[in-house]
Amino acid sequence: MIEPIAKPRRKNPLLRTRLPTSPPRARSRASHGFTRAAAEGRFMLQRCGACETFCYPARDACPACLSADLVFTDAPRRGTLLSETTLHIPADVHFRERAPWRVGLVAMECGPKLVTHLHANCEKGKPVVMSFQLDKSGQAVAFAHPERETSNMADDRQWREMTADPKFRRALVTNGRSIVGQEVVAALKAAGASIVFVGVAEPWKPFRGEETLRGLEGVQIVPLDIGDEKSVADLAADIGGKVDILVNTTEHVRSGGLLDRQGTSVVRDEIDQTYLGFVHLAQAFGPAMRMRGSDGVNSAAAWVNILSVYALANWPMFGAYSASQAAALSLSHSLRAELRPGGVKVVNVFTGPLDIEWFQTVPPPKVAPRAVANAIVSALKRGLEDVFVGDVAEDIRQRLAANPKAVERELGA
Amino acid sequence: MQNSIRTPYDRVVMAVPVTIPYVRYSIESAQWWMGRALKALVDGAGITPRDIDGFCVSSFTAGLDSGIGLTQHFGLCVRWVDTIPLGGASAIAALRRAARAVQAGDARIVACVAGDTNHVDSFRYTLENFSRFNQDAVYPYGAGGANASFALIARNYMGTFGAKREDFGKIAVAQRSNALRNPHALMKTPLTIEQYMLARPIADPIHLFDCVMPCAGAEAFLVMSEDVAASLKLPAVKILATIERHNAFGDDPVQVRGGWAMDVDELYAMAGVKPDDLDFVQTYDDYPVISMMQFEDLGFCKKGEGPDFVRQHDLTIDGSFPHNTSGGQLSVGQAGAGGAYLGVVEAMRQVLGQAGPTQVKHARIGLASGFGMINYDRGLASGAAILAGAGA
């Protein structure tokens, strides 16, 4: 039985902010197969292509037949908890300040044995369901869950270290004018966020959905124009110390590639909003978030980018837009590395064309703004890093894995 | 009893057991500690460093140096060199390899040395850089340093075979009582079973007195032919039998036995003795549960009878089953790879009658074992040797 976590009280300004510490980060190259699995919320193990043996930890040769053909494949998640221990005096600083901490040894039904973090409801001798998670170092670790749903399951102390659950956290959604922004606000509130700050540029100009937004309890509209460095810095000076989750819902979509546009003003706007806007946000809010990665129940936890899946492969119909998204994607990887010492996750949510005005001419399937919002909350609750929303995004992901050249030619056809 | 087809270690002996007294922390390097041990070997044997033509070394903290770099550091010109990174099984492996080298004539006098320093951050560095599986799949769980790995093994063993904390405690308490007679032991105060039971938990069911204390120190011995030992007038230790096994029983879901169980018949067959013939036993005791497992796997009782065996025996120097007579790593300290040598060197002293205050009366023949390398979920390396003095 897990006690529900309590809503954190106002922070005592006289107390020092605990600085984040990282669990051990070093991994072998092969082991990053688990990092990939954890980032996407999959459970993958190495399986031998020759003799089909599953193995763990990550190897470079099969322990059953010495084949080098070890492939990370989705694997059955069930196992049995063979033994468990509670660490009272771990050697490592990160775990020492989190002790007592439970770990166990799980025998997977498919063969391998996994040393794993344990959800509090896992019992010795009982079945468990495994996942790989990104811990505060950003690296993959095994996590054992009880076989069935238990009460207040998501409030488990060890599980919450692996996730960026919005419950009792404070979020900033950068663009309240967009439908996606409004849906994200609603989804975060529904997931238990204590406050959602919503950025609106030039707030005196009315917008659709404004009344509903203003009527939501725990939602504060704040002035924010992310293309304007001063506007972003001013807001950060005001609320930067209490943004635990930042969702960048910037939306600047214009069709066209290079040859049919006159001059660079449209491209410049795209870069101002998408790329420089990201830079402004990161420089203004990133340092405080990194500093607050261990700041209790409402520690800084995640930065979310909504990116077009065409950041991964240029779609010439929206060619310059795709390039601005690619720039933001590249920048997100820098931000991810820079926030990692704070244990703050950078979640990239890749979508196909959204069902919004700017994609009016694009044929279905299109992604409903609410689906994006739900995917964001789900990713935060599950601690994911790379999420693909909708059929088009999933289609591009799979095709890129199969043959990137074919994707380039076909998108440009 | 089966017969051994292996070549006996005829006319090969060990001599000059050396211990450089341990300290909890040292600002000196591992090379310094090994250097002291080498000096004690040549002084003890009445030889010069030039007489050493074989060199075998084990250390966790020698940095970038393996045996070859150390030959130049110590001014040794050898025709046989080995670096043995087997942790707690290093001494048994060193003795086996050196003995065969001497037997084959590849070396005349082999110095086997293990030395480690313990700076304030040495232990953490060793944990962080232990092995690839450890780094990938154990250390990230806060489980580095073997405490958690042995906690998982101990809990399973307790549940499967009915061992109680009191049983592990009896092993630790007996060793402390032995250690109080050993001036080199770092632990100088008596330990009662009550204190053992009330100690703070480290990783359930492992509590404070189940753990060894990392420290700095060095241990060493020489391996040579019987003739060389006689010409140097050195009291000599005979090697009756040895075994070594790695990554045994990989299909056991949780480790309940070590590699000894695979080769124990061979061990006694080669030695031509029975477990009852032994006058003392030095097990590798990084945790009492591992010593208990060895009582089973080395043939003193059956699998699962370890707890009962402990209950029925007095494990002190003067008891019915003298065990870890120096105090073992639990009470002397764990000097890195020196921990592997501790039992072997103490066994040499016992059969030579040189153990002084920890001497088992009339000890002629005894066993020393090694165990090491918690690479992932279990100890991979195991070994054992039966040694005898001149009278045996």
Can you read off the two tokens belonging to residue A27? Answer: 């991994």
A277-291 and A229-239 helices, crossing angle to 10°: 20
Mean per-residue pLDDT, A26-53: 97
Distance CA B373, CA B378 (A): 8
The DSSP output letter for A272 is I
Q: List all residues 6 or more positions away from A209 whose beta carbon is below 8 Å from its beta carbon.
A: A179, A182
Q: Are B378 and A113 in contact (CB under 8 A)?
A: no
Asked whether the predicted pLDDT for residue A48 surpasses 90, the reply is yes
Same domain, B252 and B338: yes
- Answer whether B141 sits within 8 Å of A115, measured CB to CB: yes
Q: Are A50 and A40 in contact (CB under 8 A)?
A: no
ipTM: 0.91
**In this predicted structure, what is the pLDDT of residue B327?**
98
**In this predicted structure, what is the pLDDT of residue B143?**
78
B4, part of any domain? no
Number of domains in chain B: 2
Distance CA A347, CA B185 (A): 54
- How far away is chain B from the Cα of A412, in angstroms, using its nearest Cα? 42
The DSSP output letter for A286 is H
Same domain, B74 and B220: yes
| Structure confidence by residue, pLDDT tens digits, A297-353 | 999 999 999 999 999 999 999 999 999 999 999 999 999 999 999 999 999 999 999
The DSSP output letter for A84 is E
Residue with tokens 């919503």: A198
Domain end point (choices B231, B264, B284): B231
Can you read off the two tokens belonging to residue A311? Answer: 């950041």
Residue ranges per domain, chain A?
32-160, 170-411
| Structure confidence by residue, pLDDT tens digits, B200-240 | 999 999 999 999 999 999 999 999 999 999 999 999 999 99
The DSSP output letter for A310 is G
- Minimum-distance CB partner of A117 among B123, B141, B156: B141
Q: Which pLDDT band holds residue A379 (cuts at 50, 70, 90)?
A: very high
Query: Number of Cβ pairs closer than 8 Å across A and B?
Result: 124
Same domain, B152 and B206: yes
**In this predicted structure, what is the pLDDT of residue A1?**
76
**In this predicted structure, what is the pLDDT of residue B167?**
98
Q: Which of A87-101, A365-379, B136-150 has the lowest mean pLDDT?
A: B136-150
- Answer whether B206 sits within 8 Å of A85, measured CB to CB: yes
In a mutational test of the A interface, the residue from B133, B138, B141 whose CB has the highest number of chain A CBs within 10 Å is: B141
Domain end point (choices B176, B204, B231): B231
Q: Which pLDDT band holds residue B130 (cuts at 50, 70, 90)?
A: confident
Q: Which pLDDT band holds residue A78 (cuts at 50, 70, 90)?
A: very high
Determine the residue of chain A that is closest to B144 in CA distance.
Answer: A91
| Structure confidence by residue, pLDDT tens digits, B147-190 | 999 999 999 999 999 999 999 999 999 999 999 999 999 999 99
**In this predicted structure, what is the pLDDT of residue B125?**
81
Q: Are A100 and A86 in contact (CB under 8 A)?
A: yes
For A389, the 3-state DSSP assignment is strand
In a mutational test of the B interface, the residue from A34, A53, A55, A85 whose CB has the highest number of chain B CBs within 10 Å is: A85
In a mutational test of the A interface, the residue from B131, B136, B204, B207 whose CB has the highest number of chain A CBs within 10 Å is: B136
Same domain, B257 and B377: yes
DSSP collapsed to 3 states, chain B: CCCCCCCCCCCEEEEEEEEEEEECCCCCCHHHHHHHHHHHHHHHHCCCHHHCCEEEEECCCCCCCCHHHHHHHHCCCCCEEEECCCHHHHHHHHHHHHHHHHHHCCCCEEEEEEEECCCCCHHHHHHHCCCHHHHHHCHHHCCCCCHHHHHHHHHHHHHHHCCCHHHHHHHHHHHHHHHCCCCCCCCCCCCCHHHHHHCCEEECCEEHHHCCCECEEEEEEEEEEHHHHHHCCCCCEEEEEEEEEECCCCCCCCCCCCCHHHHHHHHHHHHCCCHHHCCEEECCCCCHHHHHHHHHHCCCCCCCCHHHHHHHCCCCCCCCCCECCCCHHHHHCECCCHHHHHHHHHHHHHHHCCCHHHCCCCCCEEEEEEEEEECCCCEEEEEEEEEECCCC
- Answer whether A113 sits within 8 Å of B127, measured CB to CB: no
Asked whether the predicted pLDDT for residue A294 surpasses 90, the reply is yes
The domain in which residue B97 lies consists of 12-121+216-231
Q: How would you classify residue A376: left for phi > 0, otherwise alpha for psi between -120 and 50, otherwise beta?
A: alpha
Residues from chain A contacting residue B250 (CB–CB below 8 Å): 63
* DSSP per-residue letters across A138-163: S-EEEEEEESS--TTGGG-HHHHTT-
Task: Note whether A115 contacts B: Cβ–Cβ < 8 A.
Answer: yes
Can you read off the two tokens belonging to residue B229? Answer: 């030992």
* pTM, two decimal places: 0.94
B127, part of any domain? no
Same domain, B44 and B167: no
**In this predicted structure, what is the pLDDT of residue B217?**
98
Same domain, B42 and B183: no
Output A56-63 pairs: Cβ under 8 A, ≥24 positions apart: A56/A108, A56/A112, A56/A113, A56/A114, A56/B137, A57/A31, A57/B132, A57/B133, A57/B136, A57/B137, A57/B376, A58/A28, A58/A30, A58/A31, A58/A33, A58/A34, A58/B136, A58/B137, A59/A30, A60/A30, A63/B250
For CA atoms B326, B330, B336, B337, give the dihedral sign. Answer: positive
Same fold, A32-160 and A170-411: no
Same domain, B249 and B321: yes
- Answer whether B142 sits within 8 Å of A23, measured CB to CB: yes
Residues from chain B contacting residue A124 (CB–CB below 8 Å): 155, 159
Q: Which pLDDT band holds residue B144 (cuts at 50, 70, 90)?
A: low
**In this predicted structure, what is the pLDDT of residue B362?**
95
- Answer whether B142 sits within 8 Å of A92, measured CB to CB: yes
Same domain, B202 and B330: yes
* Residue A132 to residues A46, A140, A213, A336, Cα–Cα distance (Å): 13, 6, 36, 19
CATH of the domain at B20: 3.40.47.10
Other residues' Cβ atoms within 10 Å of the Cβ of residue A123? 14
Distance CA A101, CA A87 (A): 5
**In this predicted structure, what is the pLDDT of residue B392?**
66
Mean per-residue pLDDT, B232-257: 97
Asked whether the predicted pLDDT for residue B145 surpasses 80, the reply is no
Q: Which pLDDT band holds residue A81 (cuts at 50, 70, 90)?
A: very high
Q: Judging by beta carbons within 10 Å of its beta carbon (0-12, 13-18, 19+), is residue B234 exposed, middle or buried?
A: buried
Determine the residue of chain B that is closest to A33 in CA distance.
Answer: B136
Question: What is the CATH code for A170-411?
Answer: 3.40.50.720
Q: Which residues between 262 and 321 in chain A have a beta carbon less than 8 angstroms from any beta carbon of chain B?
A: none
CA-based nearest residue to A296, from A1, A3, A25, A5: A5
The DSSP output letter for A334 is H
| Structure confidence by residue, pLDDT tens digits, B86-111 | 999 999 999 999 999 999 999 999 99
- Minimum-distance CB partner of B148 among A63, A96, A103: A103
| Structure confidence by residue, pLDDT tens digits, A157-196 | 999 999 999 999 999 999 999 999 999 999 999 999 999 9
- The highest-level CATH class for domain A32-160 is mainly beta
Distance CA B264, CA B391 (A): 24
Residues from chain B contacting residue A142 (CB–CB below 8 Å): 137
* Residue A328 to residues A74, A282, A334, A348, Cα–Cα distance (Å): 30, 11, 10, 10
Report how many helices (DSSP H) and strands (DSSP E) chain A contains, helices first. 12, 15
- Answer whether A85 sits within 8 Å of B377, measured CB to CB: no
Distance CA B86, CA B286 (A): 14
Distance CA B297, CA B280 (A): 16
Distance CA A152, CA A192 (A): 13
Q: Are B137 and A57 in contact (CB under 8 A)?
A: yes
Q: Calculate the average pLDDT of chain A.
A: 96
Instruction: Output the furthest CA–CA distance in chain A (Å, rounded).
Output: 70
Distance CA A233, CA A229 (A): 6
**In this predicted structure, what is the pLDDT of residue A91?**
86
Instruction: Work out the percent of chain B whose per-residue pLDDT is above 90.
Output: 93
Chain B residues with CB under 8 Å of a chain A CB are 123-124, 127-128, 132-133, 135-145, 147-149, 151-153, 155-156, 159, 200-206, 250, 253-254, 376-377
Domain end point (choices B231, B265, B290): B231
**In this predicted structure, what is the pLDDT of residue B124?**
81
| Structure confidence by residue, pLDDT tens digits, B262-286 | 999 999 999 999 999 999 999 999 9
- How far away is chain A from the Cα of B162, in angstroms, using its nearest Cα? 15
- Answer whether A85 sits within 8 Å of B204, measured CB to CB: yes
Instruction: Work out the percent of chain B whose per-residue pLDDT is above 70.
Output: 99
| Structure confidence by residue, pLDDT tens digits, A117-146 | 999 999 999 999 999 999 999 999 999 999
